[in-house]
Chain A
């Protein structure tokens, strides 16, 4: 089992819809969880971090964490074509807070 797994893509949603991205992780000791967005040809940029169970909202983005189920998700409301990118789930491990990344989900928002 991979340490961090993301739902297989690619994912296409129409403009204005809700995009749902999912991620599971294997290490029950993981404490910090992140969603990065990566546009084609660019480097990843952090869009959300979440540390405790429940929901965390930031604008159109909501991260959800369920540590008992080892599950973290990202909801994008009112999806825009500019949201089209690859979304990477990442989990912290180790004393230097190194990250383990999932393989990413490619999202396309259709106008």
Chain B
């Protein structure tokens, strides 16, 4: 079974803090993705990576950056957290066309 894990299920941070969300997959997948999910808006793509050290902006990259130093690990970084970044963050990795999602991190920025 494919396993995608995320570093935290729940996280509370203060405005202005630097926040790291980590995602690890165990299936040697090339492509990894970060989404955020908000009520009524569905899942929106923040960034994705198709190889180590390669990254591409998704639909809503502003305020975020990413890092992929190893194939199995894809990190999402909020350089200076803001309240409008309070959301559910979902990581996914893909083999062929199937995206496998991690359990999600619910981030609250106060």
Which one of B33, B43, B44 contacts A88 once the chains associate, using CB atoms below 8 Å? B43
Contact yes or no, A32 B48, CB < 8 A: no
- Choose among B31, B33, B94, B103 the residue that contacts A43 (Cβ–Cβ < 8 A): B103
The yes or no answer to B15 lying at the interface (CB within 8 A) is no
Count of chain A residues with a beta carbon within 8 Å of a chain B beta carbon: 20
Contact, CB under 8 Å: A101 / B58: no
What is the minimal beta-carbon distance from A67 to any residue of chain B, in angstroms?
16
Question: For the complex, is A69 an interface residue (Cβ under 8 Å from B)?
Answer: no
For A4, the closest partner residue in chain B by CB is B42
What chain A residues lie within 8 Å of B41 (beta carbons)?
Answer: 103
Residues of chain A lying within 8 A (CB to CB) of residue B97: 32, 34, 49, 92, 97
In the complex, number of A-B residue pairs with CB atoms less than 8 Å apart: 47
**Is there contact, CB below 8 Å, between A49 and B98?**
yes
* B34-87 with Cβ < 8 A to chain A: 35, 40-45, 48, 50, 56, 58
Provide the residues of chain A in CB contact with B94, threshold 8 Å: 97
Q: Smallest distance from the beta carbon of A69 to chain B beta carbons, Å?
A: 22
Residue of B whose beta carbon sits closest to that of A86: B42
Q: Contact between A103 and B42 (Cβ–Cβ < 8 Å)?
A: yes
How many angstroms between the C-alpha atoms of A46 and B97 in the bound complex? 10
Residues of A within 8 A of B90 (CB): 43-44
Among A43, A44, A95, A104, point to the contact of B50 (Cβ < 8 A). A95
Q: How close is A102's CB to chain B, nearest CB, in angstroms?
A: 6
Contacts of A101 in B (CB 8 A): 35, 42-44
Given contacts A42-B104, A44-B43, A99-B45, 13 further A-B pairs with CB under 8 A are A43-B90, A43-B103, A43-B104, A44-B90, A92-B97, A95-B50, A96-B48, A98-B31, A98-B58, A100-B45, A101-B42, A101-B43, A103-B41
Chain A residues with a Cβ under 8 A of chain B? 32, 34, 42-46, 49, 88, 92, 95-104
Listed from nearest, the 6 A-B pairs whose CB atoms lie closest are A43-B101, A103-B42, A101-B43, A96-B50, A101-B42, A96-B31
A-B contact pairs, 5 of them (CB 8 A): A43-B101, A43-B103, A97-B97, A98-B48, A99-B43
